[in-house]
Structure 1
Amino acid sequence: MPATTTRIVLRDRTTELADLLAQVEPDRDLVDVDQPIDHNWPAWRLHTALTSIPWIKRTIAGKLLARKRPRLLPIYDRYVAQVTGCEADHWQPLRRALLADDRALHHRLLRSRDALGLPAEVSALRMLDVICWMEGRDGGKPQS
């Protein structure tokens, strides 16, 4: 980040951003959210605050949020958008996909994590992020 952006985040607006982050539930999976995911949702308000800062666009804001709440907030970039087809408001469609068929996708992602021997700290959502990124980046082509 440019120095001016870093100064805004870490000095000028640190209290505001920390207060908003505190309202975003830690240690909760996106699949377990039981409130509307709309512009009043705390994570959405924090995302909006971040994207109002010069240089922080949707992808950077999403990566910052995903770092702070890895089980709750997915990473969003052009590769994820390409694979999921979610161009806007991607949290709710991803939540619906994770909930479908009695949470089949959520459970499959966790089984995949376990089969790979990854630590429990790697959430189902992070697994989905990586799979989407790899699929989008490589266009579905197998690695040689």
Structure 2
Amino acid sequence: MENVTNEIAVSHIKKYFEASANGRPTYTGSRFETFAGGGDVVEPNRITAADLIAVSTLSVHVPGQAALGIIEELDGEIERLLVQVPNDVRLEDLNEEEFKKFLDDGSPTDCIWQLLRQRRDVWGIGPTTTSKILARKRPHLVPIYDSVIANQVGMRDSGRQWRRWWHAFQGDEGRKLSQRLDTIRTGSGQTHLSLLRVLDIVLWMEGHGAEKTRETVGDGA
């Protein structure tokens, strides 16, 4: 973000939310948060079919085997874990104790991450898709991870990414970042976005170009 002015950042978000001549969104991801009422608003403690459709707007695919498993087989376990993570918890506001409670290894969010990954019986859900499902349910807490974002911020893989993002919001520099993202959000007119999503869109628009993002299910955490 150091090399991106607020003016450019605002223009990125405005462009992201533009409609095409046919009335459809230029970037389908602009509907990610609001599709079917929002994943953190409608059925906030369950991963629904609408949530899996919503993540497809961010150019990832949930295989049928995984979709059935998430919605049917794992539904109760996922709900039990999501209930423990309030949908208004914000990454930028967490202290160390709260980070450990909600995002560290063994936390409810981490347990859902591991469930969705299904390492022992892989079903085609990699770290990118997992992050997008979780970001749909807890947009203020879980950052989106993909290769574009990783390249923009110098991440080798998704391992320990939550702690890295949390550190970015700590101290005086972290407060300045939060204030800057809030200013960009207000200037863009998309006040429904979380600060994490503002950051995500700006970084993605900066780094994406004309390339398409591909996910590998084995990378990182």
TM value normalised by structure 1: 0.87
Indicate which of 43, 47, 59 corresponds to 2:113.
Answer: 47
Q: Are 2:90 and 2:141, in contact at CA under 8 Å, matched by a contact in 1?
A: yes
Tell me, what secondary structure is at the counterpart of 2:80? Answer: helix
Rounded Cα–Cα distance in structure 2 between residues aligned with 1:5 and 1:108: 38
Higher CA-based Rg: 2
Once the two structures are TM-superposed, the CA of residue 51 in structure 1 deviates from its matched residue by 0.7
1:70 to 128, 139, 142: 139
What code does the residue aligned with 1:113 have?
R
Bigger shift: residues 126-135 or 94-103: 94-103
* Correspondence for 1:124: 195
Distance 1:49 1:32 in 2: 26
* Map of 1:115 onto structure 2: 187
8 Å CA contact 1:79, 1:135 repeated in 2: no
* Structure 2 residue identity aligned to 1:77: D
Q: 8 Å contact 1:24–1:43 — kept in the other structure?
A: yes
The alignment partner of 1:25 has SS state of coil
Gaps of 5+ in 2: 1-61, 211-221
Query: In structure 2, what is the equivalent of residue 22 of structure 1?
Result: 83
Counterpart Cα distance in 1 of 2:160 and 2:205? 21
Where in structure 1 do 4 or more consecutive aligned residues deviate above 4 Å?
A: none
Identical aligned pairs, as a percentage? 33
Aligned length: 138
CA distance in 1, matches of 2:197, 2:104: 22
**1:19-71 CA-partner distances (Å, limit 9, x unpaired):** 11222231121011222242122211111111115111111110000001111
Per the alignment, in what secondary structure is the counterpart of residue 69 of structure 2? Answer: helix
What is the deviation of 1:76? 0.3
